[in-house]
Amino acid sequence: MKFSKTIIAAVAAAAMIVPLAACGSGTADSGKTTITYFSWNNENQVKPIIEAFEKANPDIKVDLSTAQGEAADYAQTLTTRAAGNQLPDVFHMSIETRNEVLDAGLAKDLTNEPFMDSIPDTNKDLYTRDGKVYGMSPTAWVGVIVYNKDLLKQVGYDSVPETIDEFCELGKKLQAAGITPYMDDPTVVSGSFQPMLGGYYAKQGIDTSEWPEMGEGGSFEKQWTPIIKEWQKLIDSGTMPKEVVGVNNDQIKQQFMTGQLAMFRSGPWDFPDLNSSGVDYATAPFPAVEGGEPYVGGGPDSPFAISSKIDGDKLKAAEKFLAFMNSEEGLKLEEKNIGQISVSSEYAADVAPQLQDIYDEYVTTGKYYWTNWSQNGNVMATEMTSQWQLLIQGSTDAASVAKHMDETWKANAK
Amino acid sequence: MTAQTCNPAMMRQSDSSGDAKVGGRDGVRKTPWYKTRGFVESASSTGFLIPVLAVFVVLTLIPLIQTVYYSFTDYTGFNPNVNFVGFDNYRKVFTDPSLLVGLGFTILFALATTLITTIIAIPLAVLLNAKFYGRSFARSLFFFLGVPSLIVLGMVWSFILSPLKTGALNSVLVSMGLDSVPWLANETLARGCVIFVAIWAAVGWHATLYLAYLQAIPADLYEQAAVDGASGFQKFIHITLPQLIPGIVVSTFLLITNGLKVYDLPFGMTKGGPGYSTNTITQAIIVHGISQSQYGLGSALAVLFTLACLIVVLGQTALTSAISRRFA
């Protein structure tokens, strides 16, 4: 009896401890080099691309993991994996994690890799430090206003006006007709404010050294306050309802697809859903604020990076993977499955017809903007999102928002 | 088997006359201490603690020590080279308005859910303990509310409480000729909605807990009270409630600890908004520590929060012990 008690205790101890040991276990596929890849996009989008790569490289296996959410979710998982010394062999270095990844020396120098030759300089600049490039971004993203042609026609419009005052006028007419005019996702950084800010910077010719997000002396209070005041017209005119604060992007898209919302901030990533809804839609740039010009949101997609901790066969396999992602076949698949727009000279983008005008007039001419924080991207993005929610609610004003942004910037200065 | 061998007293006598009395200083040989029954029994029992102890050390104690260490550094999660920054992270905790708002909502949430859930769950348990048609179904129904994951419940309720006119609840209000309500778009309403859903989800589970305690109350206490002419209310106050004290201790302990560490429900419903109004401390620890790569700050927050929880839980334990003694 005494013996059996001891045995039971030992078995129980082993049963509790063995699963912990399993945390560090892994699997191996004999004869193949396995690389881990942490994708920015979801599994359904990426899997066909991985399958094509593995077919072209039968000696390489890609162990795929994905983040199912937004930029913050990706950053959160990447940070956790880096902290646990489990950095993927290939990962994406987002704007939010760029500084931390480069500071820690976690990304391999890609400057002289052959697959970097076809990447445009603008896409390299963001991920360059001390003359060395650490990220490969062969595609770009673009955020626009998607509008329901039939609903706009009901109030006498064929397209979206190009100034914010005219846009708000359209908003009032839609409200009078019982239609919700416009919404953008309030749980992330405002997708409408950013292009309005970019259009203002461009029209005014404000040097990047004056942009507060560059950390070279410009203040949010000075540069952002007038544009925030202009953006606030969307709320004051009722063009964007205050209730938008309590909804998420899925709910907004659903409103549009059921014909209850006339316009929302979106992009090519939503086109498959919108096409299936049967809504007759088109795209437009964001209207210009006073002193600005129409602009779209956008920038280089989060670049591929190779872990600086790998070498030998793994490194060769990772380099082959990046070369494939920047090949004609890879870029075509990324366009088809993820809706990404190639800016690489390896493949000329075949954009969706709904986006063609925007592509020709704005993307190819560089009239797109998104804030690239030079420090603490996630901190600033979180603060900005919260401040905008309060602004929409009417609990704060433009000056206070800009002041808070300045304070947060200074409090987290490095 | 003889009567002699079955008698434990005789067995002990036999043992002592056999092994233990042979040899030794007085000519009696003693059993080595590590072979005595008491030690072997004690060692076996202690063995059962090893699994729990191992898990506690690996999953709680070591991370706790690491957390205290990181709270004094500028660790980002990416860079293994850390610098000692003294109390800088602790200073930031007390000067960041978003963290203070989060702390306020966490305390409000924990207190409100504990108090209101307890006030509703006890009468509900009494009702579910009474005999009526469909009692088992009703018990299952209330218990089921606490089964799904809170993040799933949060997402479902975010659709129900959508502030748009087309939201599930607002559609009903509008169809009745009433104005739509900005449920999750208003700071005060959003806080109220999150607390309401938490209570809605918890009340059935805690009623089931009380039900188990109710069924252990001796029926003769009620019979004697009935003979003495006690009313239903008097029975509840003087018999049911005092007998439920052990249950109240367990239930409120679970509610307060779950309330203090809440993350999933507010995140699923509002992601902490509008602004920071439904932000909780646990969410702040995750967001600052992991999403924003400020492990040092997140760790400082976690250390302070652990201490605060310890104080709250010790206080609550002392209070409930005092109440238990009063009604013992």
pLDDT tens readout for residues B203-212: 999 999 999 9
| pLDDT surpasses 60 at B76 | yes
Report ipTM (2 d.p.): 0.76
Which of A7, A189, A243 has the most B C-beta neighbours within 10 Å, making it the best mutation to test the interface with B? A243
Beta-carbon separation of B292 and A9 below 8 A:
no
Query: Do B58 and A79 make contact, defined as CB atoms within 8 angstroms?
Result: no
Provide CATH code, domain A32-136+302-339: 3.40.190.10
pLDDT above 70 (res B8): no
Residues B127-150, mean pLDDT to the nearest whole number? 89
Would you state the pLDDT for residue A286?
98
More confident position, B49 or B28: B49
Residue B191, min C-alpha distance to chain A (Å): 12
Q: How much is the average pLDDT of B80-106?
A: 90
**pLDDT means over runs of 10, chain A (414 residues):** 56 56 48 92 90 96 85 83 90 85 92 94 87 94 96 96 97 96 93 96 92 89 96 96 90 94 93 91 97 94 94 95 96 90 92 92 90 86 93 94 93 77
Task: Tell me what pLDDT residue A15 has.
Answer: 58
- Per DSSP, the residues of A240-278 read S-GGGGG--HHHHHHHHHTTSEEEEEE-GGGHHHHHHHT
The alpha carbon of A16 is separated from its chain's Cα centroid by a whole number of angstroms, namely: 41
pLDDT at A375: 84
Q: Where in chain A is the domain with CATH 3.40.190.10?
A: 32-136+302-339, 141-299+369-411
Average pLDDT of the residues in B9-22 = 42
- Is B57 an 8 Å CB contact of chain A? no
Contact criterion met (CB < 8 Å) for A10 and B47: yes
pLDDT at A55: 96
- Residue A246, C-beta contacts closer than 8 angstroms, at least 6 positions apart: B158, B161, B162, B163, B164, B182, B183, B184, B185, B186, B190, B270, B273, B274
**Is B275 in Cβ contact with A5 (below 8 Å)?**
no
Who wins on pLDDT, B327 or B157?
Answer: B157
Look up the CATH superfamily of B88-327: MetI-like (1.10.3720.10)
Q: Collect all residues of chain B within an 8 Å Cβ-Cβ radius of residue A247.
A: 162-164, 184-185
In whole angstroms, what is the distance from residue A144 CA to residue A263 CA?
10
How would residue B17 be classed by pLDDT, with cut points 50, 70 and 90? very low
- Is the pLDDT at B20 greater than 60? The verdict is no
For residue A11, report the phi and psi dihedrals to the nearest 5 degrees: -65, -40
Interface of A with B in 212-271 (CB under 8 A): 241-248, 251, 255, 258, 260
Residue B287's pLDDT band (boundaries 50, 70, 90)? confident
Q: Is the confidence at residue B30, as pLDDT, over 80? A: no
Where exactly does CATH 1.10.3720.10 map onto chain B?
Answer: 88-327
* Residue A144 · residue A203 · CB < 8 Å: no
Asked if B90 and B169 count as a contact pair (C-beta separation under 8 A), the reply is no
Collect all residues of chain B within an 8 Å Cβ-Cβ radius of residue A260.
166
Stronger pLDDT, A213 or B31, i.e. the higher one: A213
Q: Which CATH class is domain A141-299+369-411?
A: alpha beta
When CB atoms are compared, the residue of A15, A80, A243 closest to B185 is A243
- Top pLDDT among A356 and B41 is at A356
Averaged over B123-135, what is the pLDDT?
91
Which candidate in A86, A258, A393, A408 is best for mutational testing of the B interface (most B CBs within 10 A)?
A393
Which among A8, A247, A386 has the least Cβ separation from residue B163? A247
Asked whether the beta carbons of residue B51 and residue A15 sit closer than 8 angstroms, the reply is: yes
Q: How high is the pLDDT of residue B116?
A: 97
Taking a C-beta distance cutoff of 8 angstroms, is the pair B278, B98 a contact? no
- How many interface pairs between A and B have CB atoms less than 8 angstroms apart? 149
Burial of A337 (0-12, 13-18, 19+ CB in 10 A): middle
